[in-house]
């Protein structure tokens, strides 16, 4: 009976590994390398795990996948907990990547990438106006210092 459980567990592990993406695996569709989207800040949380958006290196047609931030949870201590955490990550990643197209998670990730691009561009505008504000304050300080010292 113990060997049957072992074969069932290994079967589930193999099936989960076949249908899930990791940082080190290649794109399931065109076998190119995966990279984090933008600055790695396109994220979602599902099943108490953090998933980061990855895209393949194919220049003609991009494919997008959710990849778990950590494969094994920090609180997994025993071999059974480590195995269950690993298995849960594989299954969770495969569920997180299910989309309407059943190929990749493009339908969900592309709008999040566009939203992140808007946030990045607006923060650049804020940084530019922050530098101008600092320059203005410095100018006022120098002018005020000059006026006080000439009196």
Domain residue spans of the chain: 2-150
Two structure tokens written together for 125? 């505008």
Q: What predicted TM-score, i.e. pTM, was given to this entire model?
A: 0.62
31-89 pLDDT, tens digit each: 888 888 877 788 888 767 888 888 888 778 888 888 888 877 778 888 888 888 887 78
pLDDT in tens, 97-107: 775 555 667 78
Nearest to 26 by CA among 68, 51, 55: 55
What is the token pair recorded at 63?
A: 């494919």
Pairwise CA distance, residues 12 & 36, whole Å:
28
């Amino acid at each position: 009976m113990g060997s049957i459980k072992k074969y069932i567990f290994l079967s589930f592990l193999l099936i989960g590994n076949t249908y899930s993406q990791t940082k080190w695996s290649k794109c399931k569709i065109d076998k190119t390398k995966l990279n984090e989207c933008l600055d790695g800040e396109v994220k979602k949380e599902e099943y108490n795990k953090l998933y980061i958006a990855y895209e393949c290196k194919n220049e003609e047609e991009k494919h997008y996948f959710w990849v778990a931030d950590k494969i094994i949870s920090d609180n997994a201590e025993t071999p059974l907990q480590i195995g269950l955490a690993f298995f849960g990550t594989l299954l969770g990643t495969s569920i997180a990547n299910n989309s309407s197209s059943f190929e990749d998670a493009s339908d969900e990730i592309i709008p999040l990438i566009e939203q992140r691009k808007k946030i990045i561009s607006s923060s650049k505008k804020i940084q530019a106006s922050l530098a101008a504000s600092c320059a203005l304050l410095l100018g006022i300080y120098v002018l005020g210092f000059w006026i006080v010292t000439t009196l």
